[in-house]
Amino acid sequence: VIVGLLDNGKLKLEEIHLFSNRKILIDGKLCWDVLALFFEIKKGLSIAAQNGHSDIRSIGVDTWGVDFGLIDRSGQLVGNPVAYRDSRTDGMMDRAFNKIPKEEIYKITGIQFMQLNTIFQLLSLAEENNPQLQIADTLLFMPDLFNYLLTGNMTAEYSIASTSQLLNANNKNWSDEIFTKLNLPRRLMPDIIKPGTSIGYLLKDIALEVGLGPVKVIAPAGHDT
């Protein structure tokens, strides 16, 4: 957690809180401890407020790419977000290319082929008829998931969405062709927003918990690279 300060037109960065990001093996899947990460985010905000930064103007979150959480109709997280190094995507690239040519996917998305990409993670769930896909109502990439936990609002920031290999680079929206040919649930994908878009305000209970007011949460470029 880093605080940015404007001083005579110059930006200064103050490191507030560092914490580890562990991968945990759960039921044979390599998962992210998303609740621990959210706890540490809130702890960092609380430390910032205690260190004299209770007048924070806005909050922005960025993370690594491709990984996601699934949210059900009641707004609850379905299972644990699986890490991109998990083996569930083994063989998924070949399965995808049997349904839609590799060249066609690249022409649509312009993204480097890696088996960890969201397209192959989602395909692995669809191929095994994973019940999470039936339960889920919305897919949120990791920064979008934390934005949701902070504000209650669900969006997909453009830069993080582009890591999925599910985005049409020409019209800058989800590729209906890819979703259709791979038989993936297009209904899960939230509206795409541009970096700099205001997502909403810090939820009242969280603001009270961390000692801040109604701070805006604004989407930066959510992909860390």
58 bridge partner residues = 216
Q: How do 23-26 and 58-59 pair as beta strands?
A: unpaired
pLDDT at 11 (0 to 100): 94
pLDDT at 90 (0 to 100): 97
Question: Is-contact 166 186, C-beta < 8 A?
Answer: no
224 flagged as catalytic: yes
How much of the chain, in percent, has pLDDT values that exceed 90?
Answer: 99
CB-count exposure of residue 43 (10 Å: 0-12, 13-18, 19+): middle
Q: Which of 151, 64, 65, 164 is nearest to 111 (CA)?
A: 164
Residue indicated by tokens 């809130």: 42
Active-site position among 90, 94, 176, 224: 224
> What is the Cα–Cα distance from 60 to 39, expressed in whole angstroms?
16
Please report, as a single letter, which amino acid is at residue 12.
K
Mean pLDDT computed over every residue of the chain: 97
Question: Is-contact 212 151, C-beta < 8 A?
Answer: no
pLDDT at 225 (0 to 100): 85
Question: Long-range contacts made by residues 35-41, C-beta under 8 angstroms, separation at least 24?
Answer: 37/146, 38/146, 38/149, 40/1, 41/1, 41/146, 41/150
Find the helix packing angle between 142-151 and 34-50, rounded to 10°: 60
pLDDT at 33 (0 to 100): 96
User: What's the token pair of residue 71?
Assistant: 């949210």
pLDDT mean for each 10 residues of the chain (225 residues): 94 96 94 97 98 95 97 96 97 97 97 97 97 97 98 98 97 97 98 98 97 97 92
Instruction: Calculate the alpha carbon distances from 145 to 7, 53, 160, 178 in Å.
Output: 32, 25, 11, 23
